Amino acid sequence: MRQAAGRPDAMSDLDFTVVLRAWPYLLSGLQFSFALTVTAFAIGMVLGTTFALIQHHEVPVLSQVVRSYIALIRSIPLILVLFWFFFLVPVVLGRFVGGGRSIPIGPTYTAFITFGLFEAAYYSEIIRVGLRSVNKGQFEACQALALSSFDTYRSVIMPQVLKVASPIILSQTIILFQDTSLVYVLSLTDLVGAASKMAQLNGRLVEMYLTVAVIYLAICSAASQCVAVLRKRNELPRVVRQ
Amino acid sequence: MFDVLFERGLDGRLYGLYLLSGLGWTLVLAFFGWWIAFLIGIVVGVGRTASNKIVSIASRLYVEVFRNIPLLVQMFLWFFVLPELLPSTAGSWIKQMPPPWGAFIPALICLALYTAARIAEQVRAGIEALPRGQSEASAALGLAPSQAYRFVIVPQAMRLIVPSLTSEVMGIYKNTSVAMTIGVLELTAESRQISEMTFQTFAAFGSATLIYLSLALCAYQLMTYIDDKVRIPGTGMTKRRRLLFVAAGGGKARRHE
């Protein structure tokens, strides 16, 4: 006799066909997770590089402001940062654009802005350390060649920084991709959001969350293999040199 | 601005007490989670470097699984999925745990196992950073591999990795906030509750932010103190370099680059 109860409480009662039916919806959620990751990566890298350069050159006032911002963002949890920005972004935008009235721009755009600004603090620290690893002679050589400071950074310094920092940047991006799941607290439909909404409809919570876990595991494991490859590639020339 | 903390909520408690009880849960989660994670992390980290193939593959698998699934999803797995997969008596026993514990225990297990995977990687990096001579000398002195790990390798590796453990300590108290998604009323959850009940969003989130900031400061000071106490003479970094090192996320592989 099989169990009489209808509750799926044993492994054998799992029914993964519900996942197949929910697949298009999950995929659209995953697409949003990717979009959020890519946007936050772009904003974060541009802002982060700017922050790092400001600190590297010890620009008065600005560098203190940037340093405090980074310290603050890095010591509070991302969920709290999300709540902060959800509250602040419409108010701040309203003050500058809407003549004092707050402008609701919707949770999606706020998420993009929040993740970009949040990640900037992390990328900035990575790039700052990268900048310090560049030999001083490189700067002096650029001066001797009469390169403008823009050309110095664009063609000489930044390529070296990015090469040294690429494994750490990629691991940070993997963390970012995992962190995008936290938009769940704002009821957005990323991969986790899609799964949980689907689970509410079809009651198949176990299958949905297990699938989500496997999807994340596959993507992030593949990406961590790339980190290992990048790391190896960075190590080689050093060995040869010595 | 923080007047709201001295007002009373619907249940007659001061809002300030809401925050304090949230802080309490955050600290309890972070503290116990840390010690469980630390123990498992050392075992798995040693396992990663073991010569036994089965042990090292199992440890690697552990790290890969727990590091590559988002903490939020892991929380859901422990809280929603595990009770359904267990035999129905055990499952319903878990589901019927009284309110704070029903969410707290899954959150604690989840946070501890997740952090353990990260600590294991640091321990492995520490062990690999030691000169080979250390294990060779232990073998020459007639120590069994387990003795070599216990008396020579692990103690030195632990002293080396204190700076990179700092970022894990700072990570775990921040990660406790994810427990709010399964209903643990920790600091972030309480501050949101205050903001929703009073509409004093600025004061509510502001005070939570200040508390998190002071926690970060305490954690950092504590780890710096420990590092000064246990650092192997001659191997340490200057304070400034250490700051940069931690800032770069602990620099897992940077040590042997």
Quote ipTM for the complex: 0.86
Judge whether residue B252 has pLDDT over 60: no
pLDDT category of residue B246 using cuts at 50, 70 and 90:
low
The residues with which B8 forms a beta bridge, in sequence order, are B14
**Could you say which residues from 180 to 209 on chain B have a Cβ atom under 8 Å away from some Cβ of chain A?**
180-181, 188, 191-192, 195, 201-202, 205, 208-209
Residue in B65, B84, B192 closest to A8 by CB: B84
pLDDT category of residue B116 using cuts at 50, 70 and 90:
very high
Nearest C-alpha neighbor of B134 from the set B232, B215, B216: B232
Q: Summarize pLDDT for B228-241 with one digit per residue, the tens.
A: 888 888 765 555 55
Q: Summarize pLDDT for B163-215 with one digit per residue, the tens.
A: 889 889 999 999 999 999 998 999 999 999 888 888 888 888 999 999 999 99
pLDDT category of residue A234 using cuts at 50, 70 and 90:
confident
DSSP three-state, residue B257: coil
Dig out the tokens for B225 from the structure: 């103190």
Residues B247, A125: C-beta atoms closer than 8 Å: yes
A171 contacts B62 by C-beta, under 8 angstroms = no
- A139 has a chain B CB within 8 A of its CB: no
Between residues A80 and A102, the one the model is more confident about: A80
Give the whole-angstrom CA distance, residue A104 versus residue B210: 27
Chain A positions in Cβ-Cβ contact with residue B128 (cut-off 8 Å): none
Taking CA atoms, A125 is separated from A54, A77, B19, B152, B247, in Å, by 12, 17, 31, 34, 6
- A241 has a chain B CB within 8 A of its CB: no
Q: Summarize pLDDT for B21-66 with one digit per residue, the tens.
A: 999 999 999 999 999 999 999 999 999 998 899 999 999 999 999 9
Chain A positions in Cβ-Cβ contact with residue B72 (cut-off 8 Å): 181-182, 184, 192
Residues B87, A75: C-beta atoms closer than 8 Å: no
The alpha-carbon gap from B72 to the nearest alpha carbon of chain A, in Å, equals: 7
B129 contacts B210 by C-beta, under 8 angstroms = no
Half-sphere exposure of B116 (CA within 13 A, CB side): 27
- The pLDDT, as a whole number, for residue B251 is 42
- The pLDDT, as a whole number, for residue B5 is 75
User: Domains in chain B, please, with CATH?
Assistant: 2-256 (1.10.3720.10)
- The pLDDT, as a whole number, for residue B257 is 30
- The pLDDT, as a whole number, for residue B241 is 55
Residues A11, B85: C-beta atoms closer than 8 Å: yes
B166 contacts B220 by C-beta, under 8 angstroms = yes
| Sign of the CA dihedral with B228 first, then B232, B237, and B243 last | negative
Domain at A14-241, CATH class = mainly alpha
Judge whether residue A49 has pLDDT over 50: yes
Chain B positions in Cβ-Cβ contact with residue A209 (cut-off 8 Å): 73, 76-77, 80-81
B218 contact partners, CB below 8 Å, separation of at least 6 = none
